[in-house]
Amino acid sequence: MRNLLLVAALLCGVNFAHSQQIVPCYTDEVLQKKIESNPQLKDEFRQSRLTILESINPDQRGGATRIIPVVFHIIHAGGSENISKDQILDQMRILNEDFSRTNPDTSLTRNIFKPVAGNPDIEFRLAQKDPEGNCTDGIVRVYSTQTTGADDNAKLLSSWPRNKYLNVWVVRSIDADGQGVILGYAQLPGFGDAETDGVIVRHDVVGTIGSANPSFKNAGRTLTHEVGHWLGLLHTFQGGCGGGFGEGISDTPPIAQATTGCDTTQNTCSNDNPDLPDQIENYMDYSDGVCQNMFSQGQVDVMDGVLGGFRSNLITSGNLEATGTDGTPADTCIPVANFYTTYKVTCVGDDITFHDDTYNGVPDTYSWSFAGGNPASSSDESPTVQFSQPGFHDVSLTVSNTSGSDTRTETDYIYVFPTDATVSSWIYVEDFEGSNPNSEDWVVINNEGLGSGWQQVSTAFSGSKGMKLNNHSGNPGGAIDDLILPPIDFTQFGSASLTFKVANAQRPGGTFSSPSSDNLRVYVSTNCGTSWQLRYNKSGSNLATVSSTNSAFTPNSESQWREETVNVSSYLGREHVLIRFEARSDGGNNIYLDDINLSGPTSVMDNDDIVKLSLVPNPAHNQVRLSFDIKDRTTMKGEIIDITGRNVLTVFNTTQLQGPQTFDINTQNLAKGMYYVRLTGLNTQYVEKLILN
């Protein structure tokens, strides 16, 4: 066993370049980011490594094969990442061959390393009982947009107890942080949160069939590599050649840096004694999976120590019985009803397909129900439906087989917009002073069903109302919440600049980063939500408008808000435009929105004939005084208009003399909210915002 200074070596960084496009493993980087964001974790990690290495006893192993229960959590958005059970079983085959040294390519282990090749004697079995003791096939399917650019947040969507199961999360892609294409990463034993303990991998490196991408040349060994980490192994190139302590295992020769390809002549550390070539056939290198074929006996000793320590409960007879992996024949499970659509909004009369995503058991029959849909019911596996009325609609699916049936009902699952734009005016403002959420004013959608979602509150930049997302105590890390504006007719705009007010504070410690990194994005759709274009994206310190605080943040002055501008000029001329504000929680602090504006024609600000216009008071209650000067005698019209451009009160429509003008306007009959005072004349149009409270 090499010197325990390996702990310091790992914490000092990983000795390989990230210029490569493919990053086979991101375990070290995730670990380092966690320690950098929370330095206290450094001691936790150091202690966990020392515990593992000090507990190793090469003579302690003996007896039967160790069995580890496994659950696959498929996080998908309806694409190829929603892999089949056959692809999962193919990956399980590869795992079991590699961890029992029965893989057919053991003959490719070079003679110099065959004496140290070890047999971990571990078998992985898909769980047959879930944490509540119910029948399962060891596969859970969860529809979520977090499958793209996934990180530890995605794991929170579905996680089983780490002392009973090996959690494997399968996603479309992993957050690369600008580093390239990441194939997977693992959480090391004795370190990190229970809910994130396990392995996360891309769908196209799972097994060798289905969506598996042969161009990665991984041969299903990405999961072998990551499970090695999960059982306590570090990379064979850990620490490079420096000092010969590498990853702490004596029968894996030190390697200067991660290997690429399958170069069997490679010897990057000639100062070792004895001087051996790089052990590129080791699963814990970065060599191509097609040329990996062994764990060393020293690595087996480490895994034995972990299975006798941090992960000892997994292999007990009691746990095998509890998870249904003790060899008892599997029952035919009752199917768990599940479904998804590729998008949660549509328009009246448009086709939208509902996809069956049932798991656990194979259904014999399907029974769908669509409130307000055409058809209103269906027995198809994946029916296509239209809705004739705007608003939210419920969806229900019942599936059954010989063992039983299950029903899933989703209230307000799909939102249907009208085909005609709701806003058809030369100016648009959403100040949230109205009282019609999920109607003509705005729509709130809680994508993952987590947390409280966007809520109208009495905190605002102007007026008396704004929108709040309670990330401090109401939204867990990983929650995704949408606020969608009504369809807007962009043909009415002379220019198209979107502005809004935002207020946010970071929190010293978020769910997965410190300080927190809550995220706000703005998307635009011109096809009723079938696809969206990203127009704005800020998170962490770039989103924050004040310094970080552990207390729940509430802005108390205009200085704690910031105006943001989004370029939406490319949508000019479009008759039906949706704008979506999407927030992704890191369990940080609250986000506030107010005063969303779309600019109208440039003539709105053409006020050459008017000077010193004022509205006092503003905000107003029952009365407001309008004052202005005009340069020349002219016929003018003064009116109050609502945010759709509709006239609600004519103040005057007469010839005005040159000089100061004053009008006291009675607003008692107008509802609270945002309005505009508009003055128009022969050569003049002037608009000023008015708040009534």
State the catalytic residues: 226
Nearest-angstrom CA–CA distance, 626 and 613: 7
Q: Given the structure tokens 């008015």, which residue do they identify? A: 690
Buried residues in 259-277 as b, exposed as e (16+ CB within 10 A)? bbebeeebeebeeeeeebb
Where do the H-state alpha helices sit in 477-576?
540-543
Which of 278, 286, 323, 283 minimizes the C-alpha distance to 300?
Answer: 283
Pairing verdict, β 384-387 and 352-353: antiparallel
What type of residue is 65? T
Taking a C-beta distance cutoff of 8 angstroms, is the pair 224, 98 a contact?
Answer: yes
Nearest-angstrom CA–CA distance, 345 and 364: 30
Please tell me whether residue 639 adopts helix, strand or coil conformation. strand
Please tell me whether residue 86 adopts helix, strand or coil conformation. helix
The C-alpha angle 596, 643, 613, rounded to 5 degrees, equals: 95
Give the Å distances, CA to CA, from 263 to 268, 277, 280, 420.
11, 10, 8, 63
The C-alpha angle 225, 226, 229, rounded to 5 degrees, equals: 95
Return the half-sphere exposure (C-beta side, CA atoms, 13 A cut-off) of residue 616. 7
Around Cβ 163, how many Cβ atoms within 10 Å? 14
Which of 214, 213, 127, 225 minimizes the C-alpha distance to 172?
Answer: 213
Taking a C-beta distance cutoff of 8 angstroms, is the pair 523, 582 a contact?
Answer: yes
DSSP characters for 441-455? SBEEEETTS-S--EE
Where do the H-state alpha helices sit in 513-563?
540-543
Nearest-angstrom CA–CA distance, 174 and 264: 30
85: left (phi over 0), alpha (psi -120 to 50) or beta: alpha
Burial class (CB in 10 A: 0-12, 13-18, 19+), 60: exposed
C-alpha 692: how far from chain center: 39
Taking a C-beta distance cutoff of 8 angstroms, is the pair 319, 313 a contact?
Answer: yes
Q: What is the DSSP letter of 204?
A: G
Nearest-angstrom CA–CA distance, 475 and 586: 9
Q: Given the structure tokens 């198209």, which residue do they identify? A: 496
Q: Which two tokens stand for residue 263?
A: 């170069």
Q: What is the DSSP letter of 355?
A: E
Nearest-angstrom CA–CA distance, 623 and 534: 42
Q: Given the structure tokens 């490569």, which residue do they identify? A: 20
